[in-house]
Structure 1
Amino acid sequence: MKRFSYLLILLIMIFISHQNSLLAQSGKIAGKVIDGTTNEGIPFVNVIIEGTNYGAASDLDGNYNIIGVPPGTYNIKASAIGYNSQTVRGVKVSIDLTTQVNFTLYETSIELKEEVVVVATRPPVTKDLTSSTSIIGADEISVLPVTEFQEVLNLKAGIVGGSVRGGRKGEVVYAIDGVPVTDVYDGSTVIDVNANSIQELQFISGAFNAEYGRALSGYVNIATKDGDNKFNGSFTSYIGDYYSTNEKIFRDIKNFQPVNIRNFEGSFSGPIIQNTLFFYLNARYIYFGGWINGKKVFNPWNITENRGATYPLSERYILSVNPDSGLGNGEIVPMNWNEKIYGQGKLTYRPFTNFKINYSYFLDNVEYRDYDHSFAYNPDGDYKRFRKGYTNILGFTHTLTPNSFYTLNLTYFFKSYKQYVYEDPNDPRYTNDVLLGQQPAEVPSFRTGGTQAGNFKRLTNTYGAKWDFTSQVDQINMVKFGVEFNYHNLGFNDIYLMQPLNTEDPRVTRNPFVRRYIPNPDDPNENLNINRYVRKPIEFSAYLQDKIELKEMIINVGLRM
């Protein structure tokens, strides 16, 4: 572990010592500049992306390439001495894809009153899409009724409940700004990403490039927004509730509460130092009351007694309770609710024109409950659930030449999950096992008392380093290779809290409570009630791939170890 820490520090020092600001998640703009009179290529034409530092010069045949362009929509301008300039507006760039933009320039001797402006049109077929891919940009996301990227994905064909084309949920890899952030414990995401923070989302459901490892069913690329030289901000909110008059299916759902669902989200971005240091912030709070309610008919400490068959059914089962507490108060409570706090911060530092540093932090904290029908009338006896995740990404991007750049990403992410009725295993409110098992024979569907006795906690810590090098070798070949290293520390405690042996029957003692304890793993009579797991796996991978762009076809070929 110490060697790994020293290696990260050394790599940071090496890369900072070097000096075009690029994203790891990037695309390419390519095309040709021709003379409108002779139809021949024009060399040494300056092709720039307006409002950015990205650009290139055409070669002797008039061809040009601009690599490492962040996803988005741009205006591209071509200009040369002796020619009228031309601008193509609304050029859309996507992750890993090449956008073709060709220019036709005329000599200034041919009278043109002003610069030529052309509006880009999207081709009916994306030629370099060699896999099943869906691409959604920020403009499209902004008009969708969604708040998280999973909701965007669920609108795509082939995705149902987080599974892709019938595969398991753990077969999808999620990446933020080029860095995989999948929890190796179960294949879920470490954190969610708000839809308003996404610059582009790309979903690949087959034929992955060599750079995309570990994915079996799908790969989700998320490029997040950066700050720029303009201050921008937004605030959105909605409130509401579920309503139905069908109380045979829904319990008390016709009691409409306008703020039972409430969402507040805001974002703010801009410069700290003009042209050098930028920030992007996003935060969200949501309370979701759900549509399934329970009713506190019983308390966890209620004891059921059978008075015998001589009594009518409505009077046969009497609940003997602590005289100071009584039965449940009949309160209606939500049983599939969740409360979530989300935060994201991103700093972008450009100390030189060809070097960029990004630092991103994501926080996702959720408290919730899953509906269990058997606890519908004893809701306080069921589990409370807690999920927390945060991610740190430190990225360096360095342009070596107009046709080559590399990226280095150092990451740390953490995720935990807990479920219990009471956090303290020795909490005096835990009840005897008998109460959880008691059910009138004629009504076996509902718990009339008792508390769940499980106490489950798990966590994942992952440290990672990922280095990628990209080079447009010539007009046809774009080569990319890289390595990735991940160190994981994961584990869980799955414990059934024991009650002391020879604990008396609460139906006799009228005492429903017990002092539970954590079982002894060395005791063969108790160790079956405790399951502990700790593992520290290490992953290493390397890949080499080539994107071959011919006039007749485009080929992606690669090798991954």
Structure 2
Amino acid sequence: MRILAMIIVAAGLVLGGTTGKLTGTVKNKNDNTPLVGCNIVILNTDLGTASNPSGEFTILNISPGVYSVKAMMIGYQSVTVTQIPISVDKTFRLNFSMDIQVVEGKEIIVVADRGVIQFDRTNSEARVTSDVLETMPLTEVSDVIKLQGGITQDEGGGIHIRGGRGSEIVYMVDGISMTDVYDGGISVTVENDNIQELQVISGNFNAEYGKAMSGVINMVTKDGGDTFESSLNYYSGDHMTSDPIFRGLDTYSPFNDVNIAGSLSGPLLGDRVTFYSSGRLYRSAGWLNGLNTFNMYGDTLFIDENNNRVRDIGEPYHDENNNGQWDNGEFYVDQNGNLDWDDPELTLTPETKPMNWVDKWSSQNKLTFKLNPKVKLRIKYILSHDEYQSYDHHRRLTLGGRNTHFSDGEILGLNFSHSISSTSYYDLNISQSKKSYKNQVFESVDDPRYQIPDEFYFAFMGQNP
């Protein structure tokens, strides 16, 4: 049995990107001169600024998402630009051209278009937003990552970026490293429903990801909004094929694999306190089957009537009439002294059973406190539990005595974000990450089944224990 427990406490400035940037200029449509003092507001947020004497503006610390931005100035017709995508560690450039308003007219609405060439992009990366995740028929973050360029998966399920080792990947959740120091994976499960934006950097990453050698997987989780929103997803099914190489898959059970996922978000105290909660339960009975024929000690499966873990073949007797069975009155050796002849313990018919079963669940929760328009406090708590057995082709006839894997992860984090101005801000993150992993045959280390029966010990070692 192997047991690992790991606790990490990290405090300091943000280690990875979690927000984006908006910049641009405001000019007079008629003579192309810069407009100073034009108000630039990101709708449905508290973020905004005014253009400087050069007509330029910058807004920092914008959470990833799609926004509408409005430019307003006395004497000019207001302009609103919609569908502006803001991504982590990226700058979106937006230029306004405003016309003089002689009489009150209609507001101009423009739909933004991200350019084909991103001039601030210096690395090889892929981004998946929450809108895209909702349309993908995938339930695991690892399945989404595997679809990106430069990503491969080995036979054990490990992820590799551009041929590097799986332990050379840095996993980030809301700017904090959540890489498991034992196996290099992520220390807690983050579900698709909880992700606002997923960033996969496969080369030329910035200095803020200094510990990464192969790649970076950066996940930004969702915040609650000003309105209540909920979702519920359910699916169930089974694997089925007539291919004889797969044992026992010629029948269909609609509830062999069951997945339930849901989320709920909204305000608690107006727009001052919001929450986001999501959870997922996944259970699979498995679909790679074995034919359970022998027990873990190598004996044919049998009914162990006396619980000695060894099949009793019956007490010796003298078959006087040669009928192949003991008859009342025939001589026998009473080995256990119960004054009766004992039948051999019956063997069991081999049974087809799945070997790769899974039982796991996770829960993600976040509270957001808007202390004032420029200060936010976020508290998040993520919890996950995985319990499973893997398929072992060498043990397909002996299903007992195989290791069961237990993995538990937990994240408790606090984020303090202060926008000093439209061009400066700072984030303070304090988080605690726990990961425990157990790999065992039986739950208790004192389980008597860990001991080899005396008869087998003598057979293996040639001597009594």
How would you bin the TM-score normalised by the shorter chain? Answer: 0.7 to 0.9
Confirm or deny that 1:399 pairs with 2:419. Answer: yes
For the Cα contact (< 8 Å) 1:302–1:322, is it kept in 2? no
- Which residue is equivalent to 1:30? 23
Which of residues 107, 112, 129 is equivalent to 1:120?
Answer: 112
Give the 3-state SS of the residue equivalent to 2:367 in structure 1. strand
Confirm or deny that 1:279 pairs with 2:288. Answer: no
1:127-526 alignment to 2 at 5 Å? 127-161=119-153, 162-247=159-244, 249-303=245-299, 321-322=311-312, 326-432=346-452, 503-505=457-459
Give the 3-state SS of the residue equivalent to 1:114 in structure 2. coil
Kindly tell me: are residues 422 and 359 of structure 1, through their superposed partners in 2, closer, same or farther at Cα, counting changes over 3 Å? same
How far residue 430 of structure 1 moved from its aligned partner, in angstroms, is 2.8
Confirm or deny that 1:57 pairs with 2:50. Answer: yes
Kindly tell me: are residues 173 and 508 of structure 1, through their superposed partners in 2, closer, same or farther at Cα, counting changes over 3 Å? closer
Q: Distance in 2 between matches of 1:121 and 1:172?
A: 32
Give the 3-state SS of the residue equivalent to 1:504 in structure 2. helix
How far residue 433 of structure 1 moved from its aligned partner, in angstroms, is 8.5
Q: Distance in 1 between matches of 2:409 and 2:119?
A: 39
How far residue 354 of structure 1 moved from its aligned partner, in angstroms, is 1.2
Kindly tell me: are residues 126 and 327 of structure 1, through their superposed partners in 2, closer, same or farther at Cα, counting changes over 3 Å? farther
Confirm or deny that 1:103 pairs with 2:96. Answer: yes
Higher relative contact order (CA closer than 8 Å, sequence separation 6+): 2
For the Cα contact (< 8 Å) 1:302–1:321, is it kept in 2? no
For the Cα contact (< 8 Å) 1:298–1:327, is it kept in 2? no
| TM-score of the pair, normalised by structure 2 | 0.84
For the Cα contact (< 8 Å) 2:77–2:105, is it kept in 1? no
How far residue 505 of structure 1 moved from its aligned partner, in angstroms, is 3.2
Give the 3-state SS of the residue equivalent to 2:68 in structure 1. strand
Residue identity in the other structure for 2:206 = N
Question: Structure 2: where are the runs of 5+ without partners?
Answer: 1-7, 154-158, 301-308, 314-343
For the Cα contact (< 8 Å) 1:300–1:431, is it kept in 2? no
For the Cα contact (< 8 Å) 1:32–1:102, is it kept in 2? yes
For the Cα contact (< 8 Å) 1:388–1:417, is it kept in 2? yes
Residue identity in the other structure for 1:279 = F
For the Cα contact (< 8 Å) 1:174–1:219, is it kept in 2? yes
Kindly tell me: are residues 39 and 433 of structure 1, through their superposed partners in 2, closer, same or farther at Cα, counting changes over 3 Å? farther
How far residue 393 of structure 1 moved from its aligned partner, in angstroms, is 1.1
* RMSD (Å) for aligned C-alpha atoms: 2.6
Q: Distance in 2 between matches of 1:169 and 1:99?
A: 32
Q: Distance in 2 between matches of 1:291 and 1:392?
A: 35
For the Cα contact (< 8 Å) 1:288–1:339, is it kept in 2? yes
Q: For 1:224-277, what per-residue CA distance to the aligned partner results, in whole angstroms no more than 9, with x for missing partners?
A: 110011000000011111111112x11101121111111000000001111111
| Percent identity between the two aligned chains | 36
Q: Distance in 2 between matches of 1:97 and 1:160?
A: 26
Question: Structure 1: where are the runs of 5+ without partners?
Answer: 16-22, 305-318, 436-449, 451-502, 515-561
Give the 3-state SS of the residue equivalent to 2:290 in structure 1. strand
Q: Distance in 1 between matches of 2:416 and 2:175?
A: 12
Q: Distance in 2 between matches of 1:197 and 1:400?
A: 28
Kindly tell me: are residues 434 and 338 of structure 1, through their superposed partners in 2, closer, same or farther at Cα, counting changes over 3 Å? farther
For the Cα contact (< 8 Å) 1:171–1:218, is it kept in 2? yes
Residue identity in the other structure for 1:282 = S
How far residue 320 of structure 1 moved from its aligned partner, in angstroms, is 7.2
Q: Which moved more, 1:407-416 or 1:396-405?
A: 396-405
For the Cα contact (< 8 Å) 2:17–2:89, is it kept in 1? no
Give the 3-state SS of the residue equivalent to 2:132 in structure 1. helix
Give the 3-state SS of the residue equivalent to 1:396 in structure 2. strand
Q: Which has the larger radius of gyration?
A: 2
How far residue 176 of structure 1 moved from its aligned partner, in angstroms, is 0.8
Q: Distance in 1 between matches of 2:129 and 2:197?
A: 4
Q: Distance in 1 between matches of 2:181 and 2:96?
A: 48
How far residue 328 of structure 1 moved from its aligned partner, in angstroms, is 4.3
